[in-house]
Structure 1
Amino acid sequence: MGIRWPRILTPTHLSQIISTQTNPLTALQIFNQAHQKYPNYRHNGPVYATMINILGNSGRILEMKQVIDQMKDDSLLKESNFKAAYQLFSDNCWRLEVKSRVKSLNLLMEGLCRFKKSDLALNIFQEMDFQGCYPDRESYRILMKGLCDDGRLNEAIHLLYSMFWRISQKGSGEDIVIYRILLDALCDDGKVEEALEIIGKVLRKGLKAPKSRRQRLDLSQCRDGEDSEATKRLINEALIRGGVPRMGSYSAMAIDLYNEGRVDEGDKVLDEMRKRGFFPSLPMYESKAEALSKKGRVSELIEEDIKEGTCVPSVRLYNTILKCLCNAGDSELAIGYLKKMAKQVGCVANKETYSILVNGLCKDGKYIEASRVLEEMLIKSHRPGAETYNGLIKGLCSIGRQYEAVMWLEDMVSQGMLPDLAIWNSLVASVCCKMSEIEMFIMNSF
């Protein structure tokens, strides 16, 4: 195996090595050899993710499952061992040689909250101070969601108050997402009066809204509490209109609403920020496009913003629009966007872009066009996944293009990918059908 091993191996270095391998089995062999060559080396999450993606994209499902099982055995962070992971942290966090990191502790808290162990997550949060490791906004968001999901609203309210004198002292607009988690939970629990009391404190202490803006708000419609969704909408509007106009507040609120699929409410945030002289950011458009695509709607409104010049699209935004068009059966229109990307400076189509187009064209039965796009994909040095190859080969066989199908099959196998059994069946059936046609032609000729 022609690779040069470094004197000291790090997970980042190993990820780079296996990513450059054209054969997934060679990458797996290197991945497994690392432990033998470096006894003190251990794989981390990103290395496992890289290896799993390589195997998954090449159709090596059995090997991928083995790596996933290996990853589970290599970690305490699975459902049966969360208490053991917490105990390990509790027993050793005070040691001088142990350096706690906010990112690692956030990951542990998120895992605990996911399995309804927010009480243990709260203990870790409280221990952070003693480690000289201060919780950040993500720490508060994870714990707030965990406490609210577990119905521990009193602890969640106390957590909110601690935010006021810690991370919200300057009235950061991004904190609005965390406030919403608690306010929505209170409304869902029927505690509307308490939610209205807290929103006043949020505007005053959290968002540092001036008194003149707070006095303009009319929340009397919220007090009946009969429709919790309507109440939550009014509270969201109060958070936006009552606070000091900030790009951070608008962006955080809009992205959060779009991620929840509440497109109409997200659009209201965009309208409000435009009135205040702000232009929506690219991440906001990306979140909106994602939300629209999940609802099966083509992003006409985003297209208008692109034409008007208020939005300079990114690769991620284009990919979302392409996915939406292909799902709607408009793969030919999607090809036009690929040409637009080629003309836009700094917006280069990536592997996902081409994969979406090839799969979309195959879904619409346009296999010749899909073959051309796949050729361009390879010219640009992007390797298709096994699923992309399988779909195209099967489609070419169905329209009698056996030669192109065999060419793509050879290319697929040369990259260490395993075609599905159905692909071999399609190819054999197609060839047999072609031969019977030839025999029939010969017989008719005589």
Structure 2
Amino acid sequence: MSIRWPRVLTPTHLAQIIRAQKNPLTALQVFNQAQQKYPNYRHNGPVYATMIDILGNSGRLSEMRQVIDQMKEDCCECKDSTFAGVIRTFASAGMVNEAVDLFNGIPQFNCVNFTQSFNTLLGIMVKESDFKAAYQLFLENSCRLEVKSRVKSLNLLMEGLCQFKKSDLALNVFQEMDFQGCYPDRESYRILMKGLCDDGRLNEATHLLYSMFWRISQKGSGEDIVIYRILLYSLCDNGKVEEALELLGKILRKGLKAPKSRRHRIDLSKCGNGDDSEATKRLINEALIRGGVPSMGSYCAMAIDLYNEVRVDEAKTVLDEMRKKGFWPSLLMYEAKAEALSKKGRVSEAVKVIEEDIKEGTCVPSVRLYNIVLKCLCDAGDSELAVGYLKKMAKQVGCSADKQTYSILVDGLCKDGKFVEASRVLEEMVIKLHWPGAETYNALVRGLCSVGRQYEAVMWLEEMVSQGMVPDFSLWNLLVASVCCKRSDTDACFEGILTQ
């Protein structure tokens, strides 16, 4: 290991040095040597966070624990986000008990706020359907000074209960908010409204809507549209069209505060007797958009909600309407649109979002938008076309390809049998200091062997080992077979080995 140490070492400089190391164990060695070489140097919170993140991402959990213990002994100031990241790492590895132990030990560190860690662990418990443990965690920690907000944690509990068809319990949690000294927000109403409607509890959902009118809809916020839609759609699906239309009128008056002149322009006679619920829903969407006071918030909320439901054509109507009113779609709307088109398999239209649609306004594509489109192309077998967007991303200011970008491309190229091209992309990925997972290396090495590129396969095996990863045992068999077998018999050899 050859490190060019500076005359004076700062934590920022050390963080840069350890990020530049390809092997996480080498990075840890450099991290530990720093205090030996510079007696007056002391690690700070950001350096510890960098080292912990590197070890966690590479699966070195034992070494990560040692660094966490060292951080506790140093008593340096720690950020809540560091612990939240470690909790997610433990949970991903199936070590929820270790995540709980870490959270319980946070008061022993120099961390004055652990709201994010609390909500992260609570969300994991809810996802694991461990409601008893989640409730116990909430009781023990929600009133602590280090936990700044209880609304989000209560929302997490309600969402978990609703996902498992326990909206009656979620309603109890909602009603207890006042006693907890906090007030439901828009997200609280959205979660509970969806849960009640999914469980067919429409009377309670309607009462919830009325309470919403005087609690959070007093100013007529357009963003509340997504909550109104949930109930109106559910009423239509259950054959209660007349009730839905009656409620729609109240929503326009009390919820959206629509002026009379706008309400009178809306013709709901086309809804007929409600035999066609989808047609009725489209008319309800139109009424909600055209009946309220036009705002960026209402258009954005409605469009993103429709795209999330993959109702692409109805969302397009919202975008057309907002353009007429002088509003331009936001980046979030373009991302939601690309994702919806991707789910529908409309690849050319998803590409058009980056190539044409987004250029009409003031937005520029984000890394997330590119990743959505690249994934769409790769899933459709157009991985070579997807690779071409790397150059476009490089030319765009503030839009550098991230680890997910490269992983999507490498996996897509391997799936299409383009292993040489995948090798080139992986090389660029490593140069940019994005570390692939073992699965990516394994897939590429297998592919290179299958096309007779044993030299490159060996190079990537060496790279894999240098990063402290252990290749699959079958990979060595495959490599030996590809070298020993005659080129003409290679495919037959592979088939024999892979069926063993």
Calculate the TM-score normalised by the size of structure 1: 0.84
- Aligned with residue 306 of structure 2, among 235, 240, 257: 257
1:154 aligns with 2:203: yes
Match of 1:236 in 2: 285
Structure 1 residues 152-174: Cα deviation after superposition (integer angstroms, max 9, x where no partner): 11111111111111111111111
Match of 1:113 in 2: 162
When residues 242 and 388 of structure 1 are mapped into structure 2, their CA distance, relative to the original with a 3 A threshold, is same
1:124 aligns with 2:173: yes
**Distance in structure 2 (CA, Å) of the matches to 1:52 and 1:355:** 22
When residues 50 and 161 of structure 1 are mapped into structure 2, their CA distance, relative to the original with a 3 A threshold, is same
- Aligned with residue 301 of structure 1, among 352, 360, 372: 352
- Aligned with residue 184 of structure 1, among 209, 220, 233: 233
- Aligned with residue 427 of structure 1, among 456, 466, 479: 479
1:194 aligns with 2:243: yes
- Aligned with residue 89 of structure 2, among 4, 28, 50: 50
1:394 aligns with 2:446: yes
Structure 1, unpaired ranges of 5+: 54-63, 438-446
Match of 1:31 in 2: 65
When residues 36 and 341 of structure 1 are mapped into structure 2, their CA distance, relative to the original with a 3 A threshold, is closer
**Larger mean Cα displacement after TM superposition, 24-33 or 370-379:** 24-33
Q: Does the residue aligned with 2:381 lie in a helix, a strand or coil?
A: coil
When residues 402 and 434 of structure 1 are mapped into structure 2, their CA distance, relative to the original with a 3 A threshold, is farther
Structure 1 residues 182-212: Cα deviation after superposition (integer angstroms, max 9, x where no partner): 1111111111111111111111111111111
How far has the Cα of 1:420 moved from its partner? 3.3
Q: Does the residue aligned with 1:347 lie in a helix, a strand or coil?
A: coil
How far has the Cα of 1:28 moved from its partner? 3.7
When residues 33 and 312 of structure 1 are mapped into structure 2, their CA distance, relative to the original with a 3 A threshold, is closer
Within-5 A mapping of 1:136-175: 136-175=185-224
How far has the Cα of 1:414 moved from its partner? 2.3
**Distance in structure 2 (CA, Å) of the matches to 1:96 and 1:357:** 45
- Aligned with residue 423 of structure 2, among 338, 359, 371: 371
**Distance in structure 2 (CA, Å) of the matches to 1:158 and 1:49:** 38
**Distance in structure 1 (CA, Å) of the matches to 2:252 and 2:280:** 17
Within-5 A mapping of 1:226-375: 226-298=275-347, 299-302=350-353, 303-308=355-360, 311-375=363-427
Give the CA RMSD over aligned residues: 3.4
Structure 1 residues 284-332: Cα deviation after superposition (integer angstroms, max 9, x where no partner): 0100100111122222431222455654211111111111111222222
Structure 1 residues 379-437: Cα deviation after superposition (integer angstroms, max 9, x where no partner): 11111122221221111101111111011112112223333344333212211215999
Match of 1:208 in 2: 257
**Distance in structure 2 (CA, Å) of the matches to 1:98 and 1:364:** 49
How far has the Cα of 1:359 moved from its partner? 1.4
How far has the Cα of 1:30 moved from its partner? 2.4
Q: Are 1:23 and 1:415, in contact at CA under 8 Å, matched by a contact in 2?
A: no
**Larger mean Cα displacement after TM superposition, 68-77 or 159-168:** 68-77
Match of 1:444 in 2: none
**Distance in structure 1 (CA, Å) of the matches to 2:236 and 2:49:** 46
Structure 1 residues 102-152: Cα deviation after superposition (integer angstroms, max 9, x where no partner): 111111111121222222221221121222211111111111111111211
**Distance in structure 2 (CA, Å) of the matches to 1:284 and 1:321:** 14
Q: Are 2:55 and 2:61, in contact at CA under 8 Å, matched by a contact in 1?
A: yes
Structure 1 residues 258-298: Cα deviation after superposition (integer angstroms, max 9, x where no partner): 11111111111111111111111110010010011112222
Match of 2:498 in 1: none
Q: AA paired with 1:312?
A: V
How far has the Cα of 1:90 moved from its partner? 7.2
**Larger mean Cα displacement after TM superposition, 335-344 or 419-428:** 419-428
**Distance in structure 1 (CA, Å) of the matches to 2:331 and 2:129:** 41
**Distance in structure 2 (CA, Å) of the matches to 1:80 and 1:341:** 40
Number of residue pairs the alignment of both structures matches = 425
Match of 2:25 in 1: none
**Distance in structure 1 (CA, Å) of the matches to 2:139 and 2:90:** 32
Q: AA paired with 1:384?
A: P
Q: Are 2:454 and 2:482, in contact at CA under 8 Å, matched by a contact in 1?
A: yes
When residues 221 and 72 of structure 1 are mapped into structure 2, their CA distance, relative to the original with a 3 A threshold, is farther
How far has the Cα of 1:222 moved from its partner? 1.9
Identity among equivalent positions (%) equals: 73
Q: Are 2:334 and 2:358, in contact at CA under 8 Å, matched by a contact in 1?
A: no
Q: Are 1:192 and 1:223, in contact at CA under 8 Å, matched by a contact in 2?
A: no
Q: Does the residue aligned with 1:279 lie in a helix, a strand or coil?
A: coil
Q: AA paired with 1:264?
A: D
Q: AA paired with 1:377?
A: M
**Distance in structure 1 (CA, Å) of the matches to 2:339 and 2:273:** 34
How far has the Cα of 1:44 moved from its partner? 6.3
How far has the Cα of 1:97 moved from its partner? 11
Structure 1 residues 327-363: Cα deviation after superposition (integer angstroms, max 9, x where no partner): 2222222122111111111111111111111112222
When residues 296 and 424 of structure 1 are mapped into structure 2, their CA distance, relative to the original with a 3 A threshold, is farther
Structure 2, unpaired ranges of 5+: 1-27, 36-41, 104-120, 490-500
Q: Are 1:397 and 1:426, in contact at CA under 8 Å, matched by a contact in 2?
A: yes
Match of 1:60 in 2: none
**Distance in structure 2 (CA, Å) of the matches to 1:122 and 1:204:** 26
Q: AA paired with 1:48?
A: I
Q: Are 1:263 and 1:291, in contact at CA under 8 Å, matched by a contact in 2?
A: yes
- Aligned with residue 435 of structure 2, among 359, 362, 383: 383
**Larger mean Cα displacement after TM superposition, 241-250 or 304-313:** 304-313
